[in-house]
Amino acid sequence: MHEIQRLAGPQQMLELVTGRFRYLFRYIRLWINLAANWTYTPIQPVDEPTITSEDVTVIIPTVAEDIQQLKETVQTAYRLEPFELLLVTPDSRVKRLYHMVEEMGCPKKIQVLSVSQANKRRQLSRAIPEVQTKITLLLDDDVWLPEKFNKWMLAPFEDPRVGGVGTNQQLRRKNRNNIWEFLGAIYLVRRTFDCTACNWLDGGLPCLSGRAVAYRSEILQDPKFTYGFTHETWGSDHFLNADDDNFITRWLFSHDWKIQLQNHRECEVETTLEHDPKYLRQCLRWVRSNWRSNLTSLSELHMWISYPWSLYAVFQTTITQWAFPYDCALIMVFHMAMKEAGYYHTESEDGQRQKCMLLWALFLGHMIFSKTIKLVPHLLRNPGDIRFVPVSILFGYFHNFIKFYGFITVTENAANPTHGLDHAATQPVAAWAHTARARDTGTTRDEMKLWQPTTPRLVKMPLGGLGKQ
């Protein structure tokens, strides 16, 4: 037995030390993020807030494909009683939006803006100069907001250093048996887990999701921000029109604005994702966006200084986190360690074999635990989804192929007309450049509308009222 428990050779020792480092490098972030989620508390609303719904303008960029869904989003946003609600759509869809608003009773707070081409950055560029309030709330056209959303969303802005506020999100599911909807739901759960932990620990987070996010208007209307937002490129001379939320998040980081994530049921946003195999294409778009944005963040010194935990727990995982090869390497190293300890020797006693089985059970159990613990909040609310847990683990391995393909095609355009690299564009989005010039020359808001470029136009809705439903 003394011979069995011999010292490992230099090569084996190096492999064992490397294996232990891999193990700790991977799982320390899980353990600490778990502790952060358990201790996290959102910012509580104050009794007499200085910022209210009247200080909020809502912007909803849309291509107006699903009018019924858009109408529900507009209704849920309108019930928040904002100062104004701006819908931005391509020229070809203006009449469709006009009829929708007309059916809703033509509320006086709703305005319809248009741009020549469907693209989220272009649409935001058209609307933001129109904002007259302290806070701008950006919404996708497929979200539903709870009744007390504004109360919780606006609470962090009582701190003048807070520049952006995000929320937790969950999927609105139509079919509980749809595996694609389950995968989309747990994607949002995992994302909320990581964002909550990072924001609680060092104030960072992967990205303030553009599905529902509030910013101080002074940030979005800063001419320097305008120029950066409309002139961002990636790997070519074409202007980047995807990743708008990533750009704004990085801007807040680099300009010393605080970011707050409000993870609370009162401001939980419901949204939709693809519910069929098209979900894979959606994953591919997210992966490409992660490669572009996270590599950019890793190259910025201020991120290493100000947000070290977020850099380790999220941004660097774009490069290092490959579940299948990583798990295989950990299993191999653990097997070698057990072998070096003599647990596999044919002369081992029964007690030794039982100890070997126990150690393997603990090792594999912890590995499964690490892949499922983030899903616990979702499973508590949706216990029927326990049957899909093995699918989530297998999809995590399959996602490695999506991630690799996203890396080698990172400059390709996305299929969604409101996302992606605009390969046809050789000029930056013009609207904000003119807006910035208007501010620099002292041009008024009304005068600016007279000479804005191309064809964007403002269609004002007739006066009326929309009853709260």
Q: Beginning with the edge strand found earlier in the chain, give each strand of the sheet holding 56-61 in spatial order.
A: 258-262, 162-167, 212-216, 135-139, 56-61, 84-90, 110-115, 458-460
Residue 383 CA to residue 442 CA, distance in Å, equals 59
Burial call 73-94: b when 16+ CB within 10 Å, e when fewer: bbbbbbbbebbbbbbbbbeebb
Q: pLDDT tens string for the chain (469 positions)?
A: 344 344 455 666 666 667 677 788 889 999 999 999 999 999 999 999 999 999 999 999 999 889 999 999 999 999 999 999 999 999 999 999 999 998 888 788 999 999 998 889 999 999 999 999 999 999 999 999 999 999 999 999 999 999 999 999 999 999 999 999 999 999 999 999 999 999 999 999 999 999 999 999 999 999 999 899 988 888 666 678 788 999 999 999 999 999 999 999 999 999 999 999 999 999 999 999 999 999 999 999 999 999 999 999 999 999 999 999 999 988 988 888 888 777 776 665 667 778 888 989 999 999 999 999 999 999 999 999 999 999 999 999 999 999 999 999 988 753 334 443 333 344 455 444 344 334 333 333 443 333 333 333 444 443 334 333 3
Domains, the chain, with CATH or none = 47-273+420-460 (3.90.550.10)
Counted residue by residue, the chain has a size of 469
Q: Which residues contact 126 (CB under 8 A, 6 or more apart)?
A: 88, 113, 114, 115, 431, 456
- The pLDDT, as a whole number, for residue 465 is 40
- pLDDT tens digit string along 440-455? 333 334 433 333 333 3
- pLDDT tens digit string along 364-377? 999 999 999 999 99
SS3 state at 101: helix
Q: Which of 230, 235, 272, 214 is nearest to 120 (CA)?
A: 230
Q: Give the chain's end-to-end CA distance (angstroms, integer).
A: 77
pTM of structure: 0.84
Amino acid letter at 121? R
Residue 157 CA to residue 152 CA, distance in Å, equals 10
